[in-house]
């Protein structure tokens, strides 16, 4: 075959799909196809499993689900006229595959099956899918386009290399690549290298939006064979961007690159089969095409993490049909940040804050709670718990038989507050947000059924140091003290007894966070962490606390993953576990 080199316009439809909402996702996909065609694109790429949402988890074990997706795909295909659409969906044949459909001329022209099924971290794809075995490409107006799905392109070798060595000038990748801090940059660096190594234009379309503990950052992009980013979609929002590409540039580069020529020869001499050409399709050729498209500026780290949290929360609330959220605002830094994020995600009219002071609450924190709610324009309820504390003491007096007050009474206060926010939730249908941060969730500094009571843990994967940083960043952005300086300066305390201070029983938060990152996120052991310069006693105490709190975390609400290792499906430890004890 002689490869054509006419330029093309490709559209990236960076959708926010909802798991299980087949009809809604299909509608979005049809709309994207129509819009891409209107904007003069010959090819529109959608994310991995766009039709089912990602990850559908055990829905994939239901034939009724997989078959409903299959039906919707045939319906969506009808929209693909005068344009080719690549749509991710789970395909049931002899088994279920993580698949990309090539939709053309109103039909499913071909289907590619994902070869690499990730089964680490948050991924369980080998639980659900049969693996594809073959690299594949299709021809669009004579241009050879290689197909890959997510993990396929993270592998430096086949199937992407096979497609390129079989002639693919363009390699598309349909992705559902979950966010963690710094990943968008790392991912783009990988795509740049793949484009250069394969001397091909890489067209990467990522999912966007929140799904339970995951948030997808979008940041879809087109990278040419020189590693230049031709187009980049924004982060954390839906977008359809169109980019002109020049398939001739890859051909030209290969003519002058002997390494590529040698690689093709070695590949032909090997036992591995070439990429299969699944289909050849034609659509009306574009007029003149300008190479390139819109290039969104990447976010800085604080904005990126903040946006991830806002997006994840908003989607959890909206996709689960909640109109309103409620959270306990203590006047401390964690609940302050949670309130900022809630208001950013939903608007102040959808957020109610509750202050539930006890005799241990200082006047300062109560005033700060009021100030924060007022600055945000959110409703504040004040429901003191003094009366409840006395009655509980009475109920338990005989059973406790004169024992001294201890952590029991502190937990009871937290649980009374949990009961009150849950009562508001039940009465008004509000979702309760919890505000504990990752440092606290790590060491178990949180009360089950108390401050842990709620449907979504806004800061579950945010270390305490990061909480301070994000609040400062928001105040700077806003140019005023949305959160009063006193909140940032007061020593952290749960205020569950007089003069309680968190940092008297734990190392300072900077130290704690560093030990936790090493232990929780990097699986280092005590010796290794001590070698990083930490005090052995601190390290061993923190590790012990993390291990012992596993049972609490198992009952914690979900919260957005922003780190390389979040609690939840990402870190699966037994509760019954004597290692290190």
Q: Which of residues 329-348 bind its own copies (CB under 8 A)?
A: none
Pick out residues in 418-457 that bind its own copies (CB under 8 A).
418-420, 422-424, 426-427, 448-449, 453, 455
In angstroms, rounded to a whole number, what is the distance separating the alpha carbons of residues 9 and 309?
33
Pick out residues in 194-223 that bind its own copies (CB under 8 A).
210-212
Looking at 320, 374, 477, 505, which residue binds its own copies (CB under 8 A)?
A: 320
The yes-or-no answer on residue 319 being catalytic is no
Nearest distance in Å: CB 256, its own copies: 40
Closer residue to its own copies, CB minimum distance, 61 or 255: 61
By the rule CB under 8 A, 21 interacts with its own copies: yes
Pick out residues in 154-193 that bind its own copies (CB under 8 A).
none
What are the strands of the beta sheet with 379-382, ordered from one edge?
379-382, 351-355, 325-328, 431-434, 456-457
Please give the radius of gyration of the chain, using alpha carbons only, rounded to the nearest integer: 27
Nearest distance in Å: CB 390, its own copies: 8
In angstroms, rounded to a whole number, what is the distance separating the alpha carbons of residues 52 and 30?
14
In angstroms, rounded to a whole number, what is the distance separating the alpha carbons of residues 343 and 341?
5
By the rule CB under 8 A, 259 interacts with its own copies: no
Contact, 353 vs 380, CB < 8 A? yes
CB under 8 Å to 264, separation ≥6 — which residues?
A: 165
Which strand (E) or helix (H) includes residue 98?
strand 96-104
Closer residue to its own copies, CB minimum distance, 416 or 483: 416
- Return the structure tokens found at 195: 């484009």
Stretch that binds its own copies, among 174-182, 342-350, 465-473, 551-559 (CB under 8 A): 551-559
How big is the site for its own copies, counted in residues (CB under 8 A)?
Answer: 85
In angstroms, rounded to a whole number, what is the distance separating the alpha carbons of residues 352 and 378?
6
Closer residue to its own copies, CB minimum distance, 253 or 396: 396
- Three-class secondary structure of residue 206 per DSSP: strand
The yes-or-no answer on residue 353 being catalytic is no
In angstroms, rounded to a whole number, what is the distance separating the alpha carbons of residues 490 and 492?
6
By the rule CB under 8 A, 288 interacts with its own copies: no
Which strand (E) or helix (H) includes residue 275?
none
By the rule CB under 8 A, 574 interacts with its own copies: yes
Residue 546 exposed, middle or buried by CB count within 10 Å (0-12, 13-18, 19+) = buried
CB under 8 Å to 94, separation ≥6 — which residues?
A: 130
In angstroms, rounded to a whole number, what is the distance separating the alpha carbons of residues 37 and 14?
15
Nearest distance in Å: CB 281, its own copies: 32
Pick out residues in 478-507 that bind its own copies (CB under 8 A).
none
Closer residue to its own copies, CB minimum distance, 190 or 396: 396
By the rule CB under 8 A, 261 interacts with its own copies: no
Looking at 82, 106, 126, 359, which residue binds its own copies (CB under 8 A)?
A: 126
Closer residue to its own copies, CB minimum distance, 63 or 272: 63
Pick out residues in 454-473 that bind its own copies (CB under 8 A).
455
Nearest distance in Å: CB 177, its own copies: 18
Pick out residues in 59-88 that bind its own copies (CB under 8 A).
59, 61-65, 68
In angstroms, rounded to a whole number, what is the distance separating the alpha carbons of residues 97 and 106?
22
In angstroms, rounded to a whole number, what is the distance separating the alpha carbons of residues 426 and 420?
10
In angstroms, rounded to a whole number, what is the distance separating the alpha carbons of residues 536 and 531?
9
Which of 352, 377, 347, 380 lies closest to 366, judged by CA? 380
The yes-or-no answer on residue 114 being catalytic is yes
Which of 144, 199, 212 lies closest to 5, judged by CA? 144
By the rule CB under 8 A, 411 interacts with its own copies: yes
Nearest distance in Å: CB 80, its own copies: 24
Stretch that binds its own copies, among 98-106, 295-303, 399-407, 510-518 (CB under 8 A): 399-407
Closer residue to its own copies, CB minimum distance, 267 or 315: 315
By the rule CB under 8 A, 403 interacts with its own copies: yes
Give me the catalytic one of 79, 91, 125, 150: 150
Give me the catalytic one of 28, 91, 114, 460: 114
Q: Which residues are catalytic?
A: 48, 114, 150
């Amino acid at each position: 075959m002689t490869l054509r080199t006419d330029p093309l316009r490709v559209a990236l439809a960076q959708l926010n799909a909802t798991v299980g909402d087949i009809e809604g996702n299909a509608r979005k996909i049809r709309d994207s196809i129509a819009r891409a065609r209107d904007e003069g694109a010959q090819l529109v790429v959608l994310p991995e499993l766009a039709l089912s949402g990602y990850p559908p988890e055990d829905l994939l074990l239901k034939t009724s689900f997989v078959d409903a997706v299959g039906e919707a795909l045939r319906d969506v295909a009808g929209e693909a006229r005068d344009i080719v659409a690549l749509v991710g969906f789970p395909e049931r044949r002899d088994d279920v595959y993580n698949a990309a459909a090539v939709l053309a001329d109103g039909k499913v022209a071909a289907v590619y099956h994902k070869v690499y099924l990730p089964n680490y971290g948050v991924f369980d794809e080998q639980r659900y899918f049969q693996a594809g075995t073959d690299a594949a490409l299709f021809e669009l107006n004579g241009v050879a386009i290689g197909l890959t799905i997510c993990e396929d392109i993270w592998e430096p070798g086949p199937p992407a290399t096979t497609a390129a060595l079989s002639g693919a000038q363009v390699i598309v990748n349909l992705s559902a690549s979950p966010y963690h801090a710094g990943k968008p940059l790392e991912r783009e660096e990988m795509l740049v290298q793949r484009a250069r190594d394969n001397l091909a234009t890489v067209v990467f379309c990522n999912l966007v939006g929140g799904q339970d503990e995951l948030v997808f950052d979008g940041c879809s992009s087109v990278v040419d064979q020189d590693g230049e980013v031709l187009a980049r979609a924004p982060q954390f929002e839906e977008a359809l961007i169109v980019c002109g590409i020049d398939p001739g540039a890859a051909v030209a580069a290969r003519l002058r690159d002997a390494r590529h020529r040698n690689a093709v020869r070695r590949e032909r001499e090997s036992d591995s089969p070439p990429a299969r050409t699944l289909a050849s399709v034609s659509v009306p050729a574009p007029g003149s095409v300008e190479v390139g498209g819109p290039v969104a500026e990447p976010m800085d780290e604080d904005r990126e993490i903040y946006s991830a949290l806002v997006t994840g929360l908003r989607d959890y609330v909206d996709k689960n049909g909640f109109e309103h959220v409620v959270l306990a605002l203590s006047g401390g830094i964690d609940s302050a940040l949670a309130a900022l994020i809630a208001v950013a995600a939903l608007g102040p009219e959808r957020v109610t804050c509750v202050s539930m002071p006890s005799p241990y609450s200082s006047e300062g924190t109560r005033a700060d709670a009021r100030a924060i709610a007022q600055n945000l324009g959110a409703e504040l309820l004040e429901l003191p718990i003094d009366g409840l504390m006395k009655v509980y003491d009475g109920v338990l007096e005989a059973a406790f038989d004169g024992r001294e007050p201890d952590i029991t009474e502190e937990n009871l206060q937290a649980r009374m507050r949990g009961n009150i926010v849950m009562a508001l939730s039940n009465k008004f249908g509000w979702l309760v947000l919890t505000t504990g941060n990752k440092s606290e969730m790590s060491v178990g500094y949180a009360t089950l059924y108390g401050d842990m009571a709620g449907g979504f843990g806004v800061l579950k994967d945010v270390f305490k140091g990061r909480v301070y940083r994000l609040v400062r960043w928001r105040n700077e952005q806003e140019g005023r003290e949305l959160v009063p300086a006193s909140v940032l300066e007061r020593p952290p305390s749960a205020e569950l007894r007089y003069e309680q201070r968190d940092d008297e029983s734990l190392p300072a938060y900077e130290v704690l966070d560093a030990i936790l990152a090493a232990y929780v996120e990097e699986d280092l052991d005590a010796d290794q962490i001590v070698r990083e310069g930490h005090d052995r006693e601190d390290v061993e105490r923190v590790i012990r606390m993390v291990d012992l709190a596993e049972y609490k975390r198992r009952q914690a609400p979900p919260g957005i993953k922003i780190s390389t290792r979040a609690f939840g499906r990402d870190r699966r430890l037994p509760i019954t576990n004597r290692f290190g004890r």
